[in-house]
Amino acid sequence: MTDLLLIQPPNVEGTLFNLPGVEIPLSIMTVSAYLKQNGYKTEVMDLTLEKNSKEALRRRLIQNPPNAVGITSYTTNIGIAARIAERIKHYWPQTPVVAGGFHPSALPKQTLEEYPVFDVLVHGEGEETMLDLMDHWGRSDTIRDLDGIAWADESGNIHVNPARPLMRHLDELPFPDREGVPIHRYVPDVGNYYTLPTTGILYSRGCPCPCTFCSKSVFLNSVRYRSPDNFIQELKYCQERWGVNDFRLFDEGPTIRRKMMEEMCHAILDNDLQVTWNCFSRVDVVDEELLSLMKKAGCYHVIYGVETVVPESQKRVRKRVSPEKIKEACRLTRKAGIECKANFILGFPWESEQDIEDNVQFALNLDADLISVNLFKPMPGSPLYDEMVAAGQVKKLPWDKFFVTSDSKLFDSQISEERQKKILKAAWMRFYFSRKNVARRLERIWRDPLHETIFVAKGVWILLQNLVR
């Protein structure tokens, strides 16, 4: 019998590949590996890969009922996670069901109030807390004094216990449990992989940046790195065991500490690893020397979180970077031979139509290979969400309406949601069908026909999906 079944819920219930790409569920895979290291039998079930997630779950529960279940969730699929918990309780009412992930970590008390089907919530990093829970359940001990959990007593009163200290020595963690998932079935979004098979990987945890729109603050504004040697061991393991040579760094900001990124790149080169990889970065931490080193070590794609160049918005989201620095980072990235993507957010509550137009125009004029432009959604766990809730600005809607592509209007702003969408769609059209972008793509197809033809075909499909929404 399985001690713990860890579930990744879909974003849209009962569908297969409901997003442009499917990423490997690294967080629950790491929890699985950590518990296996400590003697427990665990399994990972990723329902995003199932055509009929309800039926797949039913079969799994009947064939091999677990002693406990853990379900991870973001804000947008917390409702689906709760419905999964209800199905589990229908078949096995005595089986404890634990919820974890970003949404339960951001709003532990509110989540238990809204979804009492969960027996326990884990807030913060999950490895040590899940191990403690399993140990205590195995001894029939009370869990009420454990750090990092939220629970309800017999009277329905909800208790949120103190946060557990962050794990400082990441090298002590086992590699994620890739044995537990069909690794060759994961095909990420366009631009997030170069060759298949591919996998996600972490070099660090956390982010020290104070951006007010970001929910990563629920894991505290701290960054911790693995040693380069430990990271290299995982790259080699993935190559030898799975034939994986392409990696996506899930880190929020692996370039923030320059020395650590340099050490990682040198370790890849010193070990003569023939790998490709992509990562996120801030624009104000890169220069020509670092980008050149990253390219030599296999980096082919960098995603910059530009977000906005509107002065008032930069001030309020605490991301002040000059337009000149943004332009310089993109120019140097392309000069190094690395594909450059810039992410933008439109429609903060205080922004006027002119502010949005200015941000769009900057994005269109930026010398980036790709841009991503999305409307702002206040995400639980972010300081800006808390500020807007306190001011009564966030409407009470189902959590799935907080998805970045949702049509729902979550707050009142200076211009209508419909007008914002028209500006957004026009920006996509103007950038991706511009003469400059088309010429650049044709040049890339000439240099790398197979990869770029697949890239363009998928990209056009995703773009059309966005335009007809």
Tens digit of each residue's pLDDT (9 = 90 or more) over 368-419: 999 998 889 999 999 999 999 999 999 888 888 876 655 567 787 888 778 8
336 pLDDT above the threshold of 50? yes
pLDDT value for 17: 36
- From 380, 418, 382, select the one nearest 401 (Cα to Cα): 380
Domains in the chain, start-ordered, CATH in brackets?
4-160 (3.40.50.280), 200-432 (3.20.20.70)
d(CA 309, CA 359) in angstroms, rounded, equals 6
Which of 94-108, 296-310, 434-448 shows the lowest mean pLDDT across its residues? 434-448
Task: State residue 341 phi and psi, 5-degree precision.
Answer: -120, 140
Q: Which residue stretches of 341-382 are H helix?
A: 353-365
Q: Please, are residues 264 and 297 in contact by the beta-carbon 8 Å criterion?
A: yes
Tens digit of each residue's pLDDT (9 = 90 or more) over 62-121: 888 999 999 999 999 999 999 999 999 998 999 999 999 999 999 999 999 999 999 999
- From 426, 375, 425, select the one nearest 402 (Cα to Cα): 375
d(CA 228, CA 62) in angstroms, rounded, equals 43
Mean pLDDT, the chain, whole residue set: 90
Amino acid (one-letter) located at 171:
D
pLDDT value for 437: 77
Q: Please, are residues 28 and 34 in contact by the beta-carbon 8 Å criterion?
A: no
Q: Which residue has the higher pLDDT, 189 or 98?
A: 98
